[in-house]
Amino acid sequence: MMSNYSLATSTWGEEELSAIQAVIDSDMFTMGKYVAEYEEQFANFFGSNYALMVSSGSAANLLMIAAMFFTKDETRKLKRGDEIIVPAVSWSTTYFPLQQYGLKVKFVDIDRETLNIDLEKLASAITDKTKAILCVNLLGNPNDFDKIRNLIGGRNITLLEDNCESMGATYKGKYAGSFGLMGTFSSFFSHHIATMEGGCVITDDEELYHILLAIRAHGWTRNLPKENLVSGIKSDDPFEESFKFVLPGYNVRPIEMSGAIGIEQLKKLPGFIKERQDNAKKFVALFEKHEFIQIQKETAESSWFGFSLVVNESAPFSRKQLVEKLQKSGIECRPIVTGNFLKNKDVLKFFDYEVYGSLENADYIDTHGLFVGNQQISIKDSIELLLTVIDG
Ligand SMILES: Cc1ncc(COP(=O)(O)O)c(C=O)c1O
């Protein structure tokens, strides 16, 4: 069936192809100057001191959690068994590093309107045992960071952000991803920018940045500055420093082509976000008062990854019927990310976890929700088609 409304289209043009060619011409394919330049521009764009590019958003999440275990600062260091709060709806690799590092995961319900963590439930879920909150900005929508900061108050709880779906979203003029001690991004195809595979971690914290530098590449010292907060002062002997390992790390480096493509994509990002937000205006205008469909409520300025549609209680059709209708009309759609992640019983066997209260909203969107795509080009006709198909 031909697609009349696809989830995503390519964000690439001649510039990205030339960027790839430039890397080919240089004959240097492993992580190098293009990745470094991309990181610098990425950090500048999002107003953060440091950015570290990695091979995916999932790798960014993994390094973010790992770095919390390797910090020397005992006041924030995470240890096995520590409690971390997460929303019950996100992506699988938001959660997996938490399991891999032996954290006790406390799942909290989402808000049915914003689709982000329910702030009232979060308020009562926080206890003396809570060491960190991993916020997820779902489908482009930033969390209410003032409220979350207030809930944390003077307590020693680290805020981390999975911003893999919300590049370019802002809250009170500041970019989502820059509110947590660290924030992660994805540049997988269909995201706001595409390096095809790719991710980033941003932080203002120098020690965490140095840890990230080491654990991105083999846990070695090679990429660390001469004076650094992981190994101290490196020796002047390049032979000795070339294979010196200081942290139990990974190899999740990006390739040089991803960096070169990313530089071109970042230039286009403001335009991409504007188009997405323009499409959203159309979507909201058509659906905000719909009798049977509830759409996502913006907390601040969403970058609108996609458009969620949740079939409400009074609708004369089920989600299944809606999906069939959309599919017949060539409108691609997907579940609202993992839906209620807790339904994945097989993988949960490996977790040390607790469910805080009921997950009624996560359950509801799991069985009644879906999302359609948004793009960096005008898709206003497709959005009109969507309404016609739903009402037809
Ligand atoms: C919330 C969230 N976190 C993490 C990821 C992982 O990103 P990647 O696909 O680049 O590994 C995704 C993927 O879309 C996501 O939606």
Gap from CA of 90 to ligand 1 centroid (Å): 9
- Its domain, for residue 344, covers 269-391
- 182 and 319 inside one domain: no
Question: Same domain, yes or no, for 59 and 207?
Answer: yes
Is the predicted pLDDT of residue 173 greater than 70, yes or no?
A: yes
Tell me, yes or no, whether 282 and 216 share the same domain.
no
Which pLDDT score, from 0 to 100, does residue 287 have?
98
pLDDT score recorded for residue 80: 98
Q: Where residue 307 sits, what CATH number does that domain have?
A: 3.90.1150.10
What percent of the chain has a predicted confidence (pLDDT) above 90? 98
pLDDT at residue 122, rounded to an integer: 98
Is the pLDDT at 217 greater than 70? The verdict is yes
**Same structural domain, 97 and 212:** yes
| Residue 224 belongs to a domain | yes
The protein residue whose alpha carbon is closest to atom 8 in ligand 1 is: 57
Closest ligand 1 atom to 137 CA: 1
Q: How large is the average pLDDT for residues 316-336?
A: 97
Predicted confidence (pLDDT) at residue 305 exceeds the cutoff of 90: yes
Residue 110 has pLDDT above 90, yes or no: yes
168 pLDDT exceeds 80? yes
Q: Which residue among 186, 200, 265, 304 has the greatest number of ligand 1 atoms within 8 angstroms of its CB, and so is best to mutate? A: 186
4 falls within a domain:
no
* Whether the predicted model's global pTM rises above the 0.75 cut: yes
Q: Which of 227, 245, 264 is the last residue of a domain?
A: 264
Helix/strand/coil (H/E/C) assignment for every residue in the chain: CCCCECCCCCCCCHHHHHHHHHHHHHCCCCCCHHHHHHHHHHHHHHCCCEEEEECCHHHHHHHHHHHHHHCCCCCCCCCCCCEEEEECCCCHHHHHHHHHCCCEEEEECECCCCCCECHHHHHHHCCCCEEEEEEECHHHCCCCHHHHHHHHCCCCCEEEEECCCCCCCEECCEECCCCCCEEEEECECCCCCCCECCEEEEECCHHHHHHHHHHHECCECCCCCCEECCCEECCCCHHHHHCCECCCCCECCCCHHHHHHHHHHHHHHHHHHHHHHHHHHHHHHHHCCCCCEEECCCCCECCCCEEEEEECCCCCCCHHHHHHHHHHCCECEECCCCCCHHHCHHHHCCCEEEECCCCHHHHHHHHHEEEEECCCCCCHHHHHHHHHHHHC
pLDDT at 300: 98
Q: 217 and 170: one domain? A: yes
Q: Return the active site residues.
A: 191
Pair (103, 120) in one structural domain: yes
CA of 186 to the centre of ligand 1 (A): 6
Is 275 found in the same domain as 258?
Answer: no
- In the predicted structure, residue 1 carries a pLDDT above the cut 70: no
Measured in angstroms, how far is the CA atom of residue 92 from the centroid of ligand 1? 8
* Interval 141-152: pLDDT, tens: 999 999 999 999
Tell me what the mean pLDDT of segment 89-110 comes to.
Answer: 98
Distance between Cα 194 and ligand 1 center (Å): 12
Which atom of ligand 1 sits closest to the CA of residue 186? Answer: 10
As for how many domains the chain has, the answer is 2
**Which residues' Cβ are closer than 6 Å to ligand 1?**
56-58, 61, 90-91, 93-94, 136, 162, 164-165, 186, 188, 199, 337
Q: Are residues 245 and 295 in the same domain?
A: no
Query: Does residue 300 share a domain with residue 212?
Result: no
My answer on whether 184 and 296 are in the same domain is no
Domain containing 204 — which CATH number?
A: 3.40.640.10
pLDDT of residue 178 exceeding 80, the answer is: yes
* Interval 54-79: pLDDT, tens: 999 999 999 999 999 999 999 999 99
